[in-house]
Chain A
């Protein structure tokens, strides 16, 4: 059922359920950025959720059912899969193959999909080489942004350089986030099951964001962003939250 010869310059977008339902503007920005780079962006119909909430809750049968569905959706073409989330990307790349290990059909499919699944900033920086040269100061937009490196992108997928390099090249003024690599406390259902601990972790992240002096906090994960945005809104903070594509958008 796979296309044996994918057209060059074609990618498929697995947009994630968070963007689908909560932050569509981030998904549209991802499409804009990819199209501006000359890529054709396919949006495979019928995509839903990668299954990570169930996987992290220990409900692996439910997670495997969602993984199989997602693999079906993403296997109609051999084009690289762009996932605008380190968390869902980590799920597809690292957890699918383990979750479906031993499944004669979906095990190999998971391994194949894992090979061509990329988080958005990773694909831009590592595969396309975008952001390898910093913008000249004349092009600076003047927007003061800080980057929250989401845990699953940073430590799950091992993507450390890409977001900062892309932001610098986009001409924004990138300011340091104190203790940037510390978790914002989201953790999916953790934020509900252990809401007191999660809330305490969030307050620390919000303090750091406000201390950074940035007017916008950027992340590659919308799930962290809605958590942070919910905290900022509760505080009455003026700091905006944006997915990285919304800053990179031409």
Chain B
């Protein structure tokens, strides 16, 4: 299985998330803040909508010819003196990285933030092989110390208070207890210098790979990506096979929308372009550079109705805009990829049979599609996945039978009118003052938090007919 399925059900995870008031407040504040920052940044960008169109076109083109660009990229990486490795699945990817580290005699690896390494659970594999692995992004470091997973793809520790962060850093890393973020940052920065200088291997992800030049583009705000890719003597970049753009000119288009959509920045503080190991005469850089291209279900998605999700550039804007993510946060999704993008990507990579609830966890409001820098039609794919799940017998029995009965009535107008009339009488008999306060299962969830209206005594069609008959009589003078 390409993505491990959690052993707690989605509904239980949602219950936990909704019961966590602090966490809900944190997601709420972060969502509002990031949405406003994104909006301001895009409003200030001339021709932003045209740039988004261009960015989408670049991603669509690349994914449409991914085989061609992968070959070109791999050749260019090799020509630059790098080594290319192909990993069909997570296990292979882990083994490749562990082998590289072992061959280098590594005992310490430093990492910059990378979602694909979360996806393949790389840290556990390295630790098991005796390679101590340290996350160098501040948020990721705290998450690692806490033994948790990121709750947001851009801001991984958004679900914790600064007091909780201070506590974790104090208990697990010996940082003097503080709830001042600046003090925490300074203390961790101090620790990280040590790690950067003594690490044998630096492991990064890749925001983009440029096919024409074999360049890895890495964006960070903390500078840790630059340290990770230049100080240790071996650099391993792990990337999903879909992360390519054809040219450096295309990269510049993507960079115009990435940071703006993610954090509202015009550009991230550090934008690194890494094109191979240190060349003769260069003062710094690693002796070896490896690029691990991870498939892990992606090539199966190519050419399907879900291929568009591979356009994603991991900005997190859809998470910030999503009213469901805002309520339940990232962990409830049970996958490293939460929110709207995760609700498509996770079942697309891991099989809808294992993740059938995720596409249902949406009101199809379309806020994700509206903010996506590359205009991915996430609601369309949620519907496709629901259709797929329904065809595979994944819909609840009550829903299937209910809809079949509804179809029977809705395609036979006489029956439909009778059903409406019957429902009306029933709902009015059971209701009080036009409202029902308690519905039986499976509808009882509705009345947990809201009343349900009794149906009208006379349906619209009947009232209109009577009104027109009345009017007709008046006009006839009878």
For chain B, what secondary structure do more than half of its interface residues adopt (helix, strand, loop), or is it mixed? helix
The tally of CB-CB contacts under 8 A between chains A and B is 198
Q: Is the CB of A46 within 8 A of B413?
A: yes
A202 to B323, CA, bound (A): 10
**Considering the chains assembled together, what is the distance between the CA atoms of A27 and B465 in angstroms?**
12
Contacts of B423 in A (CB 8 A): 21
Q: Pick the most buried of A20, A27, A53: most chain B CB atoms within 10 A of its CB.
A: A20
- Minimum C-beta distance from B68 to chain A (A): 29
Q: Decide if A62 touches B327 in the complex (CB within 8 Å).
A: no
Cα distance A31–B471 when bound, in Å?
A: 14
How far apart are the CA atoms of A186 and B424 in the complex, in Å?
21
Residue A96 interfacial (CB < 8 Å): no
Expressed in whole angstroms, the Cα–Cα distance for A193 and B10 within the complex equals 12
> How near does chain A come to B418, taking the closest CB pair, in angstroms?
12
Which one, A22, A57, A181, contacts B399 given CB within 8 A?
A57
- For chain A, which range describes its interface: under 10, 10 to 19, 20 to 34, or 35 or more residues? 35 or more
Q: How far is the CA of A184 from the CA of B403 in the complex (A)?
A: 24
Chain B interface residue number, banded: 35 or more
Contact A55 to B453, CB < 8 A, known contacts A21-B420, A196-B18, A197-B324:
no
Q: Which of A48, A152, A194, A197 contacts B411 (CB 8 A)?
A: A48
A51 within 8 A of B: yes
Q: Once the chains are docked, how many angstroms separate the CA of A68 from the CA of B411?
A: 9
- Determine if B323 and A191 form an interchain contact, defined as CB atoms under 8 angstroms apart: no
Is there contact, CB below 8 Å, between B365 and A151?
yes
Q: Which residue of A lies closest to B461 (CB)?
A: A20
Interface residues in B134-169 by Cβ distance below 8 A to A read: none
B395→A191 contact, CB < 8 A:
no
Chain B residues near A234: list those with CB within 8 A. Answer: 437, 449-451
Bound complex: CA of A27 vs CA of B468, how far in Å? 14
Q: How far is the CA of A47 from the CA of B420 in the complex (A)?
A: 13
Residue pair A49, B410 in contact (C-beta under 8 Å): yes
Question: Is the Cβ of A15 less than 8 Å from the Cβ of B407?
Answer: no
Instruction: Find out whether the CB atom of B449 lies under 8 angstroms from the CB atom of A202.
Output: yes
B364 and A191 contact, CB distance less than 8 A: no
| A21 and B456 in contact, given A54-B407, A187-B362 (Cβ under 8 angstroms) | yes
Which B residues from 414 to 468 make CB contacts under 8 A with A? 416, 420, 423-424, 435, 437, 442-443, 445-446, 448-453, 455-456, 458-461, 463-464, 467
**What are 24 A-B pairs at a CB distance below 8 A?**
A20-B420, A24-B458, A27-B464, A45-B461, A51-B410, A55-B383, A56-B364, A56-B383, A57-B386, A58-B383, A59-B387, A62-B406, A151-B363, A154-B366, A187-B365, A192-B445, A194-B445, A195-B445, A197-B324, A199-B450, A201-B363, A230-B452, A230-B453, A234-B449
**Given A192-B445, A197-B324, A198-B445, 8 more pairs with CB closer than 8 A:** A43-B464, A54-B403, A58-B395, A66-B407, A66-B411, A196-B18, A199-B449, A201-B363
B residues sitting closer than 8 Å to A (CB atoms) are 11, 14-15, 18, 24, 323-324, 327-328, 360-367, 369-370, 383, 385-391, 395-396, 399-400, 403-404, 406-407, 409-411, 413, 416, 420, 423-424, 435, 437, 442-443, 445-446, 448-453, 455-456, 458-461, 463-464, 467
